[in-house]
Amino acid sequence: MSLALLRKELREHGLVLGAVLLLDALGLASILNDAARHGGRFTGLQRFFAIFGTLTAVVLGNRLVVREYTGRTQLFLEALPLSRARVLLTKWLLGAFALLGVAASAVALNLWWQSSERIEAIDAARAFSRGALFLLCVWAFCFLAGLLGRVRLAAWLLVGSFYGASNTMGFDATRLPPATLVGEALGLSRAWPSGAELATTLAVVAVGLLGAAALALLKEGALAQALGQKASSREFVFILTSFVGLGVLADQLKAERKQPPFALQGAATVDTPLVPVAVMPTGDFPEEEAQALAERLAARFEGLGEALELPRQSGAWVLPQSGLDREVTLRGALSDSDGIVLQANVAAPSFEVPMLQAEFVHALLAEHTRNRALREDRHWFLDGFSHWWVARGDPDRLALQVQRAAATPEPITAAQLTRWEETEDALGDALSSARAHLVLEALARSRGEAAVLALARSAFQRPQGDARAWLFDRGLEGLLAREGLNLVGLAADAEALRQHGAAEPFAGTATLSQRALGGRQVELSVSLEGLPPGAPWRAFLLQLQPWEGAVLPERRQRFDAFTPQLVLPVPVSSGDRVLVQVELDDEALGCARRVFSQRVDIL
Amino acid sequence: MSLWRKELRGLRPFVALAIAFSAFELLELCFSQVDQKPLVVTFWKGRDAAGIFLALLAFAVGTGLATRERDEGTLAFLDGLPLARSRVFFTKVLVALAVVLLYPAFALLLSVLTHRLSAGTLEQALLPGLLLESFALQALVAFAAMMLGASLGLLRSLTWMALGVLLTGLKLLIDAVPRAALLDPMALLEPSARGTTLEVDPEGLLAHALVGLVGLAVAWRGFTHEGAGRPALPSRPVVGALLATFTVASLLAAMALWVPRGGGTPGSDATDGPAFTPSPPAQVQTAHYSFSYPALSAREALALAAQADAVFLEVQALLGAPPGEPVLVDLSGSMANTLGTAFPGRIRMKLGDDARLVLAHETAHVIAHRLAQAEAQPFWDRAGVLNEGLAHWVGRRFELADDDERAAKRDDELLVLAALQARRELSVRKAADEEAFARELDDNLKYPLGAELIASLVELEGADAPGKLVRAFATPTLPLGLEGAQLWQTVFQVAGFDLARVEDHLFARVAAFAREQQELISSLPRPRVTLVVADLGRPGTVGARVQPLELPEGYELVLRFRPAPDSPLDLYDTRTTAPELPVWRAASRIQGRQVCVQPGIRTPASQVLFERWACLPVRDAEHLDVYPEGLEEDE
């Protein structure tokens, strides 16, 4: 260390250093004033060290290093009878001691601010040690970054990106040292720095010092000198845009993280080898009913895991929701946890539990296959399997499904199965899945249940989560062919089964008409003939986005009517593309019957 | 051609950047299921971030277009070639634009390919026109941003600061003059779609084209007239530091203004619980109502709609009103702590077991409002107790409970009125001043009091009396400015009724009930409040607590506070408590070193029998040495 150099630095930067310290004091006062309202003896210091401490280190780095090298004034220093190493060490120690002084002053000010409370000296010492170590780490980096000259921006952006993107990459960098030094442990001053924190600080300081020494001393400081030249605006722009672009990409490249299972206290739970089943009791759905429902649901998961060789799943949850229509089941999107959470009005008098069971099987398999089971060529198989599995050994359920399949006159064909989006669009969920169910039932009758399960095992294998899933996908027809089956034959068998159904097809007709209003506006009206007077029915409307195919039923706007004519009170415009569907309740089938579905380009 | 090659060489870093991003895009594709990416997903995903990146990249590339040759000293070499400067400049622009659009073009190509692999039968059409339209919009924004960069680039080191100032100014301008949003590039990059076309604002297109062309002209002039000397700022460190500070500040200001606060897309916020798709709206029309409700909760709504016209006709008959326009009913919910709320011609209410009753109650409000509509003065709105009382009286006829339950509920409601009358604190004239009534008594008492008043009126004057009374509020000759008891007196007189007689009849009814319930009424406890102060190392925290007493089953103890006797009603706050349990008051709510508090007991019918107000000086409070456990901290 050189005292003369020290005096020079203080003379040169004293004013700026004083201004920064004043700013620090004001910032600390403001933070402490705010922290007093939230409690915690050292919580203010957390923010102070993280924000103002870092800022002070940056300013010091800029004044002591960057200015010297970009201004090429280090050449004057090199002309003095001082070694480069001594100059470097003096600057480093000056910055380090200044920051230690800031840390000590901050802790002292914090003690004075809270003089009304009794704070043990050891607590203050713990707080100081944490703050001091953190600032040493930051200083070591700032010093090194300062010697990086024109590329220091990239170094800062790298560190910033590391902290910013750490969550995306599946870990939280603020929970790792050295950030933990100014974490909650400092706020409560409950622990001395841990071994890991000490080791990290030492490592950062060592790397920083060695790196700085390498840059400033090797080849007589040529590296630092070269880097100290001003960056061109193109370099600056290139670095900046590269990082912005990388940030955008990092946001999109979110890692597939293992989430903790979804959990709520107080649920009635039944465990099965495949999945724990839980039903949340509510005011309308007391605990004993929740327990009974959980047991009914769990009964249908028994054996499914073994039959399809599925691994254990996170959880299957039911959140009862009164007010929802009994045929509505909503899947909840989980952001921070894993599992299948369905919302349904399970307390409704005629709630269909098998439907809920099938929904769960459907969701489990879709999840397990990374949604590949929802691809159009095999979606019918997933729908059919879910219902078939639930209805096994339940002749009443099967009979109901046969009735539902027979509710529309069109025969079951192979084309209907492969163009499943169109089929679902035309028939609705309940009637289309009944048809798929019959295909599985026909297969089970002709080849035995084992054949269905063997096919399901192949179809519902968990694929890779990348392009290999597409490259090695044989498609359902390929799997059928391997088992010596074909869709035409399966459809014919199912059609023969459907013929046993005696449900009457809807005899009426629905028509959609358009009427031009002023400008580009168009009025849509639907008429439904063939219903008894006063019978309720409903029309659905959805404005379709470009390329929009299959739609979730719960996205459609609904218009109920008690008369045969209904003018849809939502204006559409020429150029719009809308989906119009008409449904009515069928008490005998216990579900909605879709009698009209059309995608219309408004002219 | 050689000029093209030279320019391409100059833009190599940006070509490398475009290739790198394209490679990343490809890599991302390889790490995902390529046949699960239809255009309906990929077209909209990440458009905002990609749009910002495109605009920023174009601007960055543009900054050097008109100045780099001069700054790097290569302009003289170009001048030596048999090429006009204009030709060089336009070649630069075209090459730079092509480089900037490399990545968007590649991304578009990839999304077309993945769509081909992913689309189902309902979504196979590629809509190439729409894709080209979208790409053209990107090209236009890139052109505008690049030319802006090229023209601002003439400012050299001030370029990025100028960008920050421009963006900040634009945002402030948009806030002040919304039409200025046509200059917002993101509006073009994130257009909404209708059917198979994009909804693009033609004025926005024109504005961006103009920005691009003006920028082009400025940059062209700057390039062709380069050489007269570079306008350089002094290179003193202080100037450099100031410049850097202002640049960062202007860019941060722009970012703070443009980046949406509270972050995140609605519905996709990180929440602990599952997020369910919100229900879309549904509607049904009956002869007298137009209902709207959540589509996924239609059954209850339809059950109500099926009996709604009968409800309307009965209410209409009770009030003797003409049918009028259908009433709009929103079944999605109501204001906090209410089952329903009525507005002129419109009702908001919750669905539930009492839906029919609530509909009748709110319909009574709507019909009464129509009957009492006076253009000069809203007299009916000033008679809140009568208004609510009439609706409550109507609603009682639609209660579903059996007779015993209905009678018990009526008794509960009458109990507080009877107790108040026994204490000589009940007055119809006081009820005429709604605010004064709410200051002294429980505001909820206006329902049973008003309903009893209407019931007394009907008993004295006949079934058509309520309709007559309401119509009298619409009398055009009523003196302007009538309020309170004077208004009631006048309106009753206009309708041909005697308010004093009706009042006497009401008191007789309540008194008869009070005699029946004398024992219960006399046994109701009368809570008393004292103040306590807990010293916790800072200025004393003041609390109010009720002295020990025995509460009947189903009753609760409440304390109502106001900062001062003349404080407005919205500063009143009511807390449920227990005997001896202090309710702490925040220092900010104590005015004049006194705590104004009104104790009361809440009956099972949720009405409060309040004692009189007392303003207790803090200095007289009892000091507690120990902070008692299990107390609520008043915030």
Q: For residue range B443-481, list pLDDT tens digits in order.
A: 989 999 999 999 999 999 999 999 999 999 988 888 878
| The pLDDT of residue A570 is above 70 | yes
Task: Encode pLDDT of A219-273 as tens digits.
Answer: 887 888 878 777 665 676 677 667 766 766 666 555 556 678 888 888 999 999 9
Whether A376 and B299 lie within 8 Å, measured CB to CB:
no
Helix pair A376-391, A420-427: axis angle to 10 deg = 60
pLDDT at A38 over 60: no
Does residue A573 sit in helix, strand or coil? strand
CA distance A262 to chain B (A): 8
- Residues in chain B closer than 8 A to A555 (CB atoms): 277, 280
Q: Give the whole-angstrom CA distance, residue A249 versus residue A6.
A: 46
A549 → closest Cβ in B17, B123, B299: B123
For residue A224, the one-letter residue type is A
Of the ranges A54-58, A149-153, B448-452, which one carries the lowest mean pLDDT score? Answer: A149-153
Asked if A448 is an interface residue toward chain B (Cβ–Cβ < 8 A), one would say no
* B272–A contact, CB cutoff 8 A: yes
B267 pLDDT band, cuts 50/70/90, is very low
At A167, is the pLDDT very low, low, confident or very high (cuts 50, 70, 90)? low
| pLDDT at A335 (0 to 100) | 80
Q: What is the pLDDT of residue A253?
A: 59
Mean pLDDT of A481-490: 92
| Lowest-pLDDT range of B78-82, B363-367, B504-508 | B78-82
Residue type, A155: A
| Cα–Cα dist B115/B43, whole Å | 10
Q: Are A363 and A340 in contact (CB under 8 A)?
A: yes
Those residues with Cβ within 8 angstroms of residue B392's Cβ, 6 or more apart along the chain or in another chain: B361, B447, B448, B450, B451
A573 with B21: Cβ contact below 8 A: no
Quote the ipTM score: 0.75
In a 10 Å sphere around its CB, with 0-12 CB exposed, 13-18 middle and 19+ buried, how is residue A565 labelled? Answer: exposed
Interface residue A254 vs chain B (CB under 8 A): no
Check residue A346 and give its pLDDT. Answer: 94
Q: Does A491 contact chain B (CB < 8 Å)?
A: no
Between residues A301 and B245, which one has the greater pLDDT?
Answer: A301
Q: Which residue has the higher pLDDT, B175 or B586?
A: B175
Strands (E), A19-100: none
Query: Where does B34-127 have alpha helices with state H?
Result: 39-42, 47-63, 68-71, 75-79, 85-100, 102-118
Contact flag A242-B276 (C-beta cutoff 8 Å): no
Question: What's chain B's length in residues?
Answer: 635
Best A13, A237, A321, A425 member to test B by mutation, with max B CBs in 10 Å, is A237
Local structure of residue A188 (DSSP, 8 states): H
Q: Tell me what the pLDDT averaged over chain B comes to.
A: 86
Chain A contacts in chain B segment 39-78 (CB below 8 A) = 39-40, 43, 45-46, 49-50, 52-53, 56-57, 60, 63-64, 68
What six digits make up the tokens of A357?
């069971």
Element (H, E) at A241: helix A233-252
Whether B274 sits inside 8 A of A577 (CB atoms) is: no
Minimal Cβ distance to A323: which of B31, B193, B351: B351
Q: Please tell me chain A's helix, strand, coil percentages from 3-state DSSP, rounded to the nearest 5.
A: 55, 15, 30
Interface of B with A in 78-137 (CB under 8 A): 115, 117, 119-123, 125, 127, 130
Helix (H, G, I), strand (E, B) or coil at A315: coil
Quote the strand ranges of A434-532, DSSP E.
509-516, 521-529
CB–CB of A335/A355 below 8 Å? no
Closest residue in B to A234 (Cα) is B64
Helical H segments across A114-194, by residue range: 121-147, 152-165, 184-188
Contact: B193, A546; criterion CB under 8 Å: yes
Alpha-carbon distances, residue B394 vs B317, B347, B469, B501 (angstroms): 11, 16, 15, 22
Burial class (CB in 10 A: 0-12, 13-18, 19+), B154: buried
Cα distances from A439 to residues A115, A307, A355, A416, A433, in angstroms, run 80, 19, 18, 12, 10
Of residues A5 and A303, more confidently modeled: A303
Closest CA to B541 of B627, B599, B614: B627
Which of B13, B237, B305 has the CB atom closest to A234's CB atom? B13
| Residues A529-561 pLDDT 10s | 988 888 899 999 999 989 999 998 889 999 999
Q: What is the pLDDT of residue A424?
A: 95
Average pLDDT, integer, range B167-190: 89
The average pLDDT across B293-307 equals 90
3-class state of residue B257 by DSSP = helix
Instruction: Report B:281-340 residues touching A (Cβ under 8 A).
Output: 281-286, 294-302, 305-306
Cβ burial of B337 (10 Å; 0-12, 13-18, 19+) is exposed
Give A404's strand partners.
Answer: none
Residue at token pair 């409950």: A190
Which pTM does this prediction carry?
Answer: 0.74
Among chain A residues, the shortest Cα distance to B353 is held by A323
Does the CB of B235 have a partner CB in chain A at under 8 Å? no
